[in-house]
Chains A and B, each alone.
Chain A
Amino acid sequence: MPRLVALFIAKGFDGIAGQLDATVPEAERAAVLDAYLKVLQTMLASLYTELLADNGVDLSQGISGQDGVFFDDAINATAAVGNYGSTLYIQLKSFGQIQSSGLQIARAPGKTLVYLGFTLLIAGVFCMFYVCASRLWCWIDEADGQARLLIGGSGMRHKHDFGKQFIRLQGVLDEQLRKFC
């Protein structure tokens, strides 16, 4: 019988019903359950009265209404506790708020230097894209007794614009050189 109480405390009424389903043939279950519950009720009730007597409660008039309600509630609560997986509940009753401020102090003696570095870095990035290096090569040699001018160039950063510039340059050179011919 203490096993029955242990089962009730651990898993509640559902635990007892589950145990019955597993061990008792279906036809007898209702009767056995009835018996189990009666035993359980008697055991817990006697435990409770013993406890009350230990605490010096006068039981000559039977259990008072208030204690009876408490007992029923206690049974219901114990039966439900198994569903929550824990027998421990924490409930906030009050709290004291402690006001505080966190202060963080950072010292950066190199700040000016860092700012200067960042400025240079940004200037460098913009210069990289917008101040483009172009290269031109000229090759003058002689072919069939005439001077021949060969020009080439590259502008990796601004290929498209450089292509147009180069053709414009070609035109200008052509025009200027023809004046000498």
Chain B
Amino acid sequence: MTNAASPVTRERLLAVLDTVMDPEVPVLSVVELGIIRDVEVRGDAVKVTVTPTYSGCPAMHVIERDIEAALRENGASTVEITMSHSPAWTTDWMPALAREKLRAYGITPPGPAEPDAPIAIGRRRLAVRCPYCGSAETELRSEFGSTACKAMHVCRACQQPFEEFKAI
């Protein structure tokens, strides 16, 4: 992390935010998660606009606290965090590099978010690839997992249970 003596610039603070990790998925930074929508710097006062992931995600409170602490450590005198709900967060905002980090961590990255067309009940889903062995011979166990953002699968090839970051 850069030290507090460096000037407070938008670019430097974005680099600082890229070291603030999601407490539930500690391989992704809040920037990679796509929830940082804007950083505004006036002198050494900082305003950050954040779009929450899921409405009820309990990690959001920790994330807000971590963002504020990291920015203050790096020269921000005041940190104002504004929640923006529109447009709604989508996993499509997650860059390719972040997706690779997820896979390496053992979580299958999200596919493209679904179109708004009427929802299909009982459809055959496209198989999700196992992040460990790459097989598409996998089985969905539940679309709800250990956190709001993940689904649970089992790989029939390597017998490994694994999680998928859900497309939303």
Are the chains A and B members of one assembly?
no
**Footprint of B on A, CB under 8 Å?**
none
**Footprint of A on B, CB under 8 Å?**
none
